[in-house]
Structure 1
Amino acid sequence: MRIGFDAKRLFHNHTGLGVYSRRLVEGLAKHHVEHEYLLYAQKVEQSRYKAKFKDFSLRPGKGWAWRTVGLSKDIVSDACDLYHGLSHELPLNLHKRGIKTVVTMHDVIFKVDPDLFPYVDRKIYDLKWRYSCKHANAIIAVSEHTRCDLIELYNVPDEKIRVIYPPVPPPPIPNILVDQSVENKYGLSEPFWLFVGAINPRKNLLGILRAMLISKGSMPLVVVGSGGSYEKKVRQFVVQNGLSPRVRFMGHLPNEELPIFYRRATALIYPSHYEGFGIPLVESLHNGTPVITSNSSSMPEAAGPGAILVDPDSPEDIAEAMSKMSSSPTLRSELSTAGRLHAQRFTTEKVVQHTMNLYKYLSTSQY
């Protein structure tokens, strides 16, 4: 098959949607070499990931409306058998050209928490999501929770949706010398809590800080990620409440160093208000580190038995979970063992095979 992909996020997004796109496409190319993979994107020459995908068939586009209006013509010209929109969107009228389409729907955050988005953006997203849900031959939902959201909010027939989790590969086998080098580089000699993710209101970093004020413990928090105005608000809170000695802001870390942070942490704390999935949860479990996460949306699904679940709106609840986790090596060990096993559900090989099975089904059906 000739399979086309919307590669905008693959080339230009460094976090969730981009990580999903790169891992899936790389996995497909590695495990199913018999197919050809075409990547449609603009400004590829400006991407830090260009070299990584240089052996793929790159199809650059031009014009501000190309991804929505002009892309269908290019896909038809390239004689694609199937097109996969990796992040919520499909080009207009492709369904009229006889090409099977798949779209991955990650979340409906703008519906669940509209205050986080300007009015115009919400309307545009809603139009795009609704169009994709209506015209795609099949929809991949990244969690059961997202599947339920699509059925409730967009009246999508259940049989049109396949739940295929994002690929989250296990880390490389630890190298003691490399681990020690990273630990020395960042001074990771004492136990710490870990937060990984964008620093924005939805991720609820302030909830962790409020819990630290309630908790009697003194364990520091290491924050991996960055943000805009919300990060400034968080940093002000840290200073105003005397937490500066206990909070370290690391910014973004190289991918090869992040597993060492997971392994050295006592637990990942991830009390997000809403997630379509929650990749850091599984990354932490792969590294044998238990998590404290929210009892809502997709997070119980992603974290499984490797977590203590909390009410994200209750700093007291988060603080209690931190106390349990820090005081019981037995609990941490039990959660670690169960979490590692649970994380095997999300390996790249399994996700790629489920995805390819869907492609093959569509290519041979009259769906």
Structure 2
Amino acid sequence: MSQAPSVGKPKIVMDARFTRIDHHDGISRYGASLIAAVAPYADVTMLIHDERQLALLPDLPWVKINSPLSPMELFVAREVNKLGADLVFCPMQTMGSWGRKYPLVLTLHDLIYYEHPAPPGFLPAPVRVLWRLYHKAFWPQRLLLNRADAVATISQTTLGLMRKHTLTKRPIKIIGNAPQGDRMPRDPAGEPEKSLTYMGSFMPYKNVETLIRGMAGLPDFTLNLLSRITPERRAELEALVPSGATVVFHNGVTDAEYDELLLRTTALVTLSKAEGYGLPLVEAMALGTPVVVADTDIFREVGGTAAHYVPADSPTEFAAAVRGLADRAKWAASSTASVAQAATFAWDASARELLAMARELRD
């Protein structure tokens, strides 16, 4: 599909092939949200590989091409060249580029898998093997990123790590993440439910084990684990639930259910040891929900002075931080501070940064 370009607007092709089919994960939501934010300022065409992806994408022109995991990805530029783009943006760093005739921006979200190399379980077995080999050294990452004209990342923390490891000689810009708009925060004078909410995967570096162990000191609280989980992983974690503690495995929730939980829970909690950004923090804070998180550089960047920080491996200090929010005045102040901190992140600012990159690369 195509659309006649508007006068003065750049033609930007956004790679939406990492959009999920049934529900967003972090990369999927980032890409879809950025596309929606850029659309008012540019003539946007989306690249998809499955028409079911359109259910989670804005209503914009699209072109269907190969999957990004297909061997045909090596030659994807032959199809993209036909679109006459002023800029092509990919929310990952793996997009094929051989023979391209357009400016290209690739994205690196984090360096998590260099420290924690276990690949996501949804990847095909051959890709998981390559994934582990890829993260044994930095040179493959440099090779991928240097194919672009510019590189995007989502946080100052990741930008610092990229520079530390000299991952690219290309210009690096922050095209940040942000919460969804038009969400009314909760009343800080309200009474929070004695529950805690975790949104994220159950990969080892997410450190859900410490959250569960911490519930030994919170027998009157319920820990809600929202994400989908395999039966095997659930059995492993259920075996760790302390006697008398309440831990609920939701195995996936809708966006509406997620918001409803955030609007009544005492706090969003995560003790993840590595993140590129930490979108659940901002989603919770935007609704006025306090966050109790691991004391890491990225969470300090995102949570600012509003978040409550604890050592990642201390279930007792985690429980104590939650207990501290039982003070109504402290909880209300934390709720108000959370809304103010979340407001420092906006998709419109990210869209404008991408448009500035398009102008620089076009001139």
Same fold (TM over 0.5): yes
String of CA shifts for 1:122-158, please: whole Å, max 9, x gaps. 224666632232122211111111111212234435x
Structure 2 residue aligned with 1:73: 78
CA contact (8 A) 2:185 2:288 kept: no
Distance 2:248 2:110 in 1: 30
Q: CA distance change for structure 1 residues 354 and 345 in 2, over 3 Å: closer, same or farther?
A: farther
Amino acid paired to 2:194: P
Equivalent position of 1:185 in the other structure: none
Q: CA deviation at 1:36?
A: 2.3
Q: Give the Cα separation in 1 of the matches to 2:101 and 2:63.
A: 22
1:153-172 to 2 correspondences below 5 Å = 153-157=165-169, 160-172=171-183
Q: Which is helix-richer, 1 or 2?
A: 1
CA contact (8 A) 1:272 1:312 kept: yes
Paired residues for 1:58-207 under 5 Å: 58-61=63-66, 64-67=70-73, 69-94=74-99, 97-115=100-118, 120-124=130-134, 129-157=141-169, 160-173=171-184, 190-207=193-210
The residue number in structure 2 matching 1:180 is none
Give the aligned partner of residue 293 of structure 2: 293
Q: Is the 8 A contact 2:176 2:347 kept in 1?
A: no
**Structure 1 counterpart of 2:6:** none
Contact 1:171 1:286 in 2 (8 A): no
Once the two structures are TM-superposed, the CA of residue 311 in structure 1 deviates from its matched residue by 1.2
Question: CA separation of 1:5/1:308 partners in 2, compared to 1, >3 Å: closer, same or farther?
Answer: same
Deviations 1:249-291 (A, max 9, x none): 2222211232121110111111111000010000000000110
Amino acid at match of 2:313: D
Matched, 1:40 2:47: yes
CA contact (8 A) 2:91 2:107 kept: yes
Return closer, same or farther for 1:216/1:338 CA change in 2, 3 Å cut-off.
closer
Contact 2:185-2:286 within 8 A present in 1 as well: no
Q: 1:9 to 1:55 in 2, by over 3 A?
A: same
2:124 — aligned with what?
none
| Cα deviation code 1:182-204 (max 9, x no counterpart) | xxxxxx99421111112222221
How many Å apart are 1:207 and its aligned residue? 0.6
Q: Per-residue CA shift, 1:141-179, capped at 9, x if unaligned? A: 11111111212234435x711123113224533799xxx
CA distance in 1, matches of 2:109, 2:18: 13
Identity within the alignment, %: 21
Instruction: Return the offset for 1:24.
Output: 0.6
Distance 1:149 1:107, change over 3 A: same
Report which stretch shifted further, 300-309 or 221-230. 221-230
1:242 aligns with 2:243: yes
TM-score of the superposed pair, with normalisation by structure 1: 0.84
Runs (5+) with no aligned partner, structure 1: 177-187
What is the Cα deviation at residue 53 of structure 1?
4.4
Unpaired segments of 5 or more residues in structure 2?
1-9, 121-127
TM normalised by structure 2 equals 0.85
Q: Aligned match of 1:3 in 12, 23, 28?
A: 12
Match for residue 3 of structure 2? none
1:227 maps to a residue whose letter is I
2:304 and 2:358 mapped to 1: Cα distance?
28
| Count of equivalent residues | 339
Residue type matched to 2:44 in 1?
Y
Which residue is equivalent to 1:319?
Answer: 319
Q: Counterpart in 2 of 1:183? A: none
Q: Secondary structure at the match of 1:23?
A: helix
Shift of 1:363: 1.7
Query: How far does residue 294 in structure 1 lie from its aligned partner after superposition?
Result: 1.2
